[in-house]
Structure 1
């Protein structure tokens, strides 16, 4: 599961960053022809950049702890990039079906970054790849971890909703 630590950290960083930096929306406030925002104010340039950088740093730390394995640096970067792009893609589709920022889409909200990070990790031949049993275990444990950490962030007033 250590392969997924960088994308898990990356997934939570934008919430923390938003409390210190007023971010610029990735979609620059633009609307599509359906009259809905492309992504909304919740997806910011700053949150995205900090997420990818922090996830990459976590990958580097894991690499250092694993006999200076450069493989984990690549895995951390691509896993974080894939995770954030999975989250952004989910937000795009949530806006299309009328779910506003903060609205819940069960399981999709919890697994978007996990599936995105897994896809990007598997596309890289030099990345550390999770085994099938680790991936399936993640399908079960990630939603529980996601809901737990979001509830903690809600209690700490970092998030406006507990999911």
Structure 2
């Protein structure tokens, strides 16, 4: 039971988990905030770019479509009924994740935190909360079928753990400047 919940939660969230990483790899380009300040601090900062947002969103959608192609054999191999992604759901998860991270940057700047500074709690769940909200708005039937209360609990518990483990790993490998 727990194994199937974890598998379903992880699978269903992959289109939201991957976009921010893809955005970092795409990096650079024009900042979304255009370099503007608000109340003495950047609105978002140089780390939030149009290119990164577009590439991150596209990566999440393409990943969801790829997962659709392997859902049946993966389900059979794992003994779990893994969901396939409707296109609106895939887009909502990916774009919602990007928007959640952008919103977190806005809140970080308002609290005086610089780019890369830790903001415990927000750093781990910003993208998840907005991605889930977006998918429930955009494709309610799909979201209700996939994100049962049990799956939602697993997502909310699993995500911070995955976030910490992957960030510490990336830091240890020299891929990040800070371990959060």
Give the alignment's TM-score, normalised by structure 2: 0.81
Return the structure number with greater helix share: 2
Structure 1 residue aligned with 2:133: 119
Give the alignment's TM-score, normalised by structure 1: 0.89
Provide the C-alpha distance between the structure 2 equivalents of 1:87 and 1:50, rounded to a whole number of angstroms. Answer: 14
Task: Show structure 1 runs of 4+ deviating over 3 A.
Answer: 69-72
Is the CA contact 1:86–1:112 (under 8 Å) kept in the aligned structure 2?
A: yes
Matching residue within 71, 80, 97 for 2:94: 80
Provide the C-alpha distance between the structure 2 equivalents of 1:93 and 1:30, rounded to a whole number of angstroms. Answer: 15
Unpaired runs of at least 5, structure 1:
none
> How far 1:47 moved relative to its partner?
1.1
Structure 2 residue aligned with 1:141: 158
Aligned 1:146-161 pairs, distance under 5 A: 146-161=163-178
> How far 1:70 moved relative to its partner?
7.3
> How far 1:29 moved relative to its partner?
0.8
* Corresponding residue pairs, total: 158
1:127–1:76 CA distance, 2 compared to 1 (3 A): farther
Which has the higher Rg, Structure 1 or Structure 2? 2
Matching residue within 7, 28, 34 for 2:34: 28
Unpaired runs of at least 5, structure 2:
1-8, 73-82
Provide the C-alpha distance between the structure 2 equivalents of 1:127 and 1:12, rounded to a whole number of angstroms. Answer: 28
